[in-house]
Structure 1
Amino acid sequence: MTCINIQMKGRIKIWFHSGNSFKIREFSLRKSFLFLFIFISLACVGTVSYFGHDYYLLKQNTLDNVALLETITAQKTELKDQRRQIQMFAGEIQGLKEQITKLGQLESQVRLIADIDKSGRSSGLFGIGGVSKIDLDQEIPLDAHHNALIREMHHQVKQIKSVADKEKLDFNDLIDKLTKKKNLLASSPSIKPVSGAITSPFGYRKSPFTGRRTFHSGLDISNRIGTKIVSTAFGKVVFAGRKTGYGNVVIIDHGYGKTTKYAHLRKILVHKNQQVKRGETIATLGNTGRTTGPHLHYEVLVNGTPVNPSKYILN
């Protein structure tokens, strides 16, 4: 139990009494000291409350700033990853354009080799610009060239799709023409009919029999009697027998106006109307007919006119 007794002489007496004891303690304080103590206590409480509130606000702002900084960092990382992916995609677009260019070049080479006209077709790759190396630079700021790069990529994807569709049509056209030309290529004489040395070329020569200048309509290829002779292209045997001056002869019609003749044969191994393939054995070398020794007389005729067989030997 505590009792406070305020004296008139400017002092304040305070008694402390405990319920378990009969002792009473007395304290005497000046009134001015008590008021000063109360004032200082209130001032301290106010100061601590003021600075405590400021500290709380500062701490809260710090936490908010940290969270905001983490969000900004995460967004920057995400943007950087997106830009890297976009740049990789741009590089893949460039590689795809290069592949399409190579396919176009391959198509042109095949057409040239097969003698197939492109019929006015031109590569659709002309006019497609490349992606700028500046746009592909990983070190440029995230906001620089970003939107322009995306727009350019969309534009190029459209162009590449258009070119790819056109190249597909070109290849379909090429395949169709190659298919049609397949039989022509298979029926064109292209190999040497027999191994050996060419002893008499195509063209004018001095006749070994008369000594006069005469036209030789084929090639004379010499070798041992019995050497295998093959068909130089796919075709149909239209003659297999003897002819005056030529001895044993095989004539093969290859279609498309092309015919080959094989003369001075020892033995004929095919018959009339038989289909033969390029490289198939049709006879053996001999010296039948009018000859000065064993050899093959080989002719190539186009629409009935003898042409230089050397132009039709690729091996």
Structure 2
Amino acid sequence: MMKKKLTLLIFDATGTPVKQTTIPRMLLPMAFMFFMAGAIALYLGISDYLRMKTEVKDVHSLRSSLQMQEERVVQHQSQIVAFSNKINSLNTKLAELDNFEQKIRIIANLEPNNDGSSIFGVGGSDPEDLDPTTMMVQDYQELVRDMHVEISEIDQASHNQQQSFSSIFSQLEGKRNLLAATPSIRPLKGWISSRFGYRESPFTGRREFHRGLDIATHAGSPIIAPADGLVTYSGRKGLMGNMITIEHGFGMVTRYGHTKKLLKKKGNRVKRGETIALVGNTGRSTGPHLHYEVRLNGVAVNPMNYFFN
């Protein structure tokens, strides 16, 4: 039985046959199979390479994304820590304002604030209550909730503090007006010739109640207003001679008798230290002097108690 063979001719560059070889035909299927196996192996290798390359690329992308997320988390944590520290700082400052308010009330002799409107009156905690570094590890959401609660309490406390300071301002304003209306300085320089209270009358020799203070000095000396007020009388007044009356408010009234010349008219407003008249000897008088009266709610009081100078 003859074996089947395949004859191959090998040509040179000019096309002339230079070699002849014979290959058994049974080797062709085996060669084809080896070729196909090599092709398949090459395909699988290339596929694995491309898949691994894609996976490596995805891993790098995920790693980059994870790093960005970690950076964002660190940034958010830093912001939360900074924000919680600001909350603690605000709490501390509100507590300091509350203490400052109490000092003002003591110094100005104002009523203490007992209406529960301070920072501690709204359920607020101590200034160092938030600890973000510890609470961040325990529960992030709990820290955020506590921060919202603190912010709400700070907002309420600041509103109450504003109202409290407004109340202080109103009270101080009232005291300022009261001080401005209080006859606290001497109406003129001189020596006291007759004091407030019971005395022997220089005209009748009888014991009588002297409702003012007699201050003797040279005629024509200026008389000044001891406090702000409104002139309610300016003219002749019987035994008081030329007299001027000033209403200061808060029930305070002052009167000035025996003047030589009145420099203010009824209806004029005067300021503390402003000249209102000149010392004289009008009415029933033994010599140039000022009869000075202070009346509180219609009752004559000792003018000496109101001299601060």
- Is contact 2:119-2:158 (8 Å) kept? no
The root-mean-square deviation of aligned C-alpha atoms, in Å, is 5.2
- Is contact 2:241-2:259 (8 Å) kept? yes
**TM-superposed deviation, 1:63:** 1.2
Deviations 1:230-273 (A, max 9, x none): 251223423543564x66432223343221123453421123x4
Corresponding position of 1:188: 181
Amino acid of the structure 1 residue aligned with 2:261: K
Corresponding position of 1:75: 69
Q: 1:204 to 1:267 in 2, by over 3 A?
A: same
**TM-superposed deviation, 1:61:** 2.1
**TM-superposed deviation, 1:64:** 1.2
- Is contact 2:183-2:226 (8 Å) kept? no
Deviations 1:201-231 (A, max 9, x none): 9768999x89x9x989448486894335125
Corresponding position of 2:58: 64
Corresponding position of 1:229: 224
**TM-superposed deviation, 1:71:** 1.5
Amino acid of the structure 1 residue aligned with 2:147: M
- Is contact 1:258-1:301 (8 Å) kept? yes
Gaps of 5+ in 2: none
Does 1:277 find its partner at 2:270? yes
**TM-superposed deviation, 1:27:** 3.8
Gaps of 5+ in 1: 1-6
Higher helix proportion, which one?
2
Amino acid of the structure 1 residue aligned with 2:229: F
Aligned residue pairs, count: 297
**TM-superposed deviation, 1:193:** 4.8
Q: 1:234 to 1:216 in 2, by over 3 A?
A: closer
**TM-superposed deviation, 1:147:** 1.9
Q: 1:58 to 1:131 in 2, by over 3 A?
A: farther
Q: 1:16 to 1:301 in 2, by over 3 A?
A: same
Amino acid of the structure 1 residue aligned with 2:232: V
- Is contact 1:231-1:276 (8 Å) kept? no
**Matches for 1:96-107 after TM superposition, within 5 Å:** 96-97=90-91
Q: 1:132 to 1:165 in 2, by over 3 A?
A: closer
What TM-score, normalized to structure 2?
Answer: 0.65
**TM-superposed deviation, 1:8:** 4.7
Q: 1:143 to 1:257 in 2, by over 3 A?
A: same
**Rounded Cα–Cα distance in structure 2 between residues aligned with 1:309 and 1:100:** 45
**Rounded Cα–Cα distance in structure 2 between residues aligned with 1:70 and 1:224:** 100
- Is contact 1:225-1:266 (8 Å) kept? yes
Corresponding residue to 2:295 among 289, 294, 301:
301
